[in-house]
Amino acid sequence: MKILVVGLGPTSIGFLYRYKELSLKETLLNDNELVIIEKNNKPGGLSSSITIDEYSFDIGVHLFASHYEYFTKILEKYEKMGLMKRKIRKSLIFYDNKLIPYPFQSNIHLLDKYKALLMLDSMKKSSNIKFGDNINLKQWAIEKFGYEIYRSFFEPQNEKSWGIPLNNIGSYWLSNRIPKPDVEEIEKKINHGEKDGTQTNWGPNNEFFIPSTGRCGDFWSKLVENLSLDINYNTYCGFYVPDVIGVSCSIFHGNTCLNDHFDMVVSSAPLHEVILEIQSPKNLKNPFSNLDNHLRYNFLCNTIVVIKGDVPEKFKDVTWIYLPNNDYIFYRLSIVTNYSHDTSPPGTFLINLEASYNNSFLDNIKIIESNAKRILMDLELTFDLSNIIRIIIQNPYPLNYPIPTLERNTVLNDIIPYLESQNIYSRGRFGMYKYEVGNMDHCFMQGVELCDRLFNSGTEYTIHDPEFVNSGQMKLDDD
Ligand SMILES: Cc1cc2nc3c(=O)[nH]c(=O)nc-3n(C[C@H](O)[C@H](O)[C@H](O)COP(=O)(O)OP(=O)(O)OC[C@H]3O[C@@H](n4cnc5c(N)ncnc54)[C@H](O)[C@@H]3O)c2cc1C
């Protein structure tokens, strides 16, 4: 069998990792021919790291949280080799010029008493609503936290990161992401004038792994190196022409284009691109050519700021800070140096700011720079603008979020089986479009599970049952 693997991000790396593992047991697999192509000059995709002069950073700060025993074992193996370390999350929210711990709803006692009481009052009317197919994100959040918290924090924070109104987003993907507020406890804290914040340890990324040196892309590069694969970098797969026994693909490298036939394609390229690139052999109309309108995504405006000096004491162990204030175009700030000290020269530190590209003002570099500077001054990450050594804005902007719109599942339920009937297996963050299983561990495991299904009679849990895998109970059938 001849198999084309398109892209070399975590999804394909997971597929190839499992393939190598299975081919040690099942020697027949070694008769297959694997052709691996990646349009960039390195592995990792959105999880690769970038080095510009003496600064290195991710596309948005990346960290490894694992919902899977299989993936955790790999991270622990690297930890034993001294290549990975663990870190505890400390995330804050900059609200009303105050830094309060995340989650917002558990810490409203730190706000002005009048505001806190208003929020508490509307929270009392809230219910423990379950996410579901017929409830949009706006309805869900108002019902869960009350209108005051929705209006003050949830809506501005989320509309900035998703880039579309929350009533166009479903709630079906939420599973256990957001804790239920304990109203009695919050009321006690407001009445007692409690001054300390509550940093709760819910969620899979409370403790996470990060590389001991460098950034997350370095982990993927090492993993790929250890697989000893033959990889065609700077190579792009364009058109797909399915037939009854496989798929003909156009593969571009430099100025050359090669047409080759494969029994099967495993793709982690964005689904909205793949759909448009499928050509029917007899010029029949592609049945899905207009469906990409329903697969919505946004871009990331990733901005790195290099600052002279050390990370100020009050931010020493902070991982990231949410920025709900609508005067800021960025929705999140991360202190890269607090993850890895070697990402910039001694005597400097790195800040990463993320904005969703949904507004044309992000084309205006001056606005991005002045907004970034304002945030750093407001937060007191620096007191003097002359300490800002450099601002790096990543342009063109990479893909950011696959948006869980209300229509998404209906569209996917049509497209994915159609593609499989044409021998094209699309998986991964933008290959499967499921944000809830779109992190590195999920994508790596989407690749592992696909390989297991195709060559080891395994089951694909991640794409079919996100809620189950996100509960952390998931094991491979033969684990
Ligand atoms: C801002 C941001 C922050 C994130 N933070 C985290 C985090 O902290 N923790 C976490 O676990 N995850 C995080 N993620 C998610 C993580 O980046 C993804 O889970 C992961 O990279 C997805 O892997 P993938 O293989 O599915 O896709 P990608 O990483 O997109 O890889 C796909 C690869 O395919 C290649 N390709 C595409 N089309 C073609 C083609 N036609 N021909 C050839 N090659 C092609 C691309 O160049 C790319 O290398 C973050 C993502 C973003 C955007």
- Using one digit for the tens of pLDDT, what is the confidence trace for 96-120? 999 999 989 989 999 999 999 999 9
Does ligand 1 come within 6 angstroms of the Cβ of 332? no
Does ligand 1 come within 6 angstroms of the Cβ of 246? no
Distance CA 286, CA 8 (A): 27
Q: Which atom of ligand 1 is nearest to the CA of 438?
A: 19
Distance 360 CA to ligand 1 centre (A): 24
> Under CATH, which number does the domain 49-102+199-215+297-402 receive?
3.90.660.20
Q: Which atom of ligand 1 is nearest to the CA of 398?
A: 53
Among 37, 49, 62, 334, the mutation site with the greatest number of ligand 1 atoms within 8 A of its Cβ is 62
Task: Give the relative orientation of helices 216-227 and 69-80 as an angle to the nearest 10 degrees.
Answer: 90
Options 3.90.79.10, 3.50.50.60, 3.40.50.11540, 3.30.470.20; which CATH number does 2-41+233-294+404-470 get?
3.50.50.60
Please tell me the predicted confidence (pLDDT) of residue 333: 98
Beta bridge partners of 101: 92
Please tell me the predicted confidence (pLDDT) of residue 83: 92
Residues of the chain with confidence (pLDDT) below 50:
479
Among 47, 206, 335, the mutation site with the greatest number of ligand 1 atoms within 8 A of its Cβ is 47
- Using one digit for the tens of pLDDT, what is the confidence trace for 363-388? 788 999 999 999 999 999 999 999 99
Please tell me the predicted confidence (pLDDT) of residue 247: 95
Burial 208-231 (b: 16+ CB within 10 A, else e): bbbbeebbbbbbbbbbbeebebeb
End-to-end CA distance of the chain: 27
Distance CA 210, CA 28 (A): 37
Please tell me the predicted confidence (pLDDT) of residue 108: 94
Options 1.10.3110, 3.40.50, 2.30.29, 1.20.1300; which CATH number does 104-191 get?
1.10.3110
Please tell me the predicted confidence (pLDDT) of residue 421: 92
Each domain of the chain, given as residue ranges in start order, spans 2-41+233-294+404-470, 49-102+199-215+297-402, 104-191
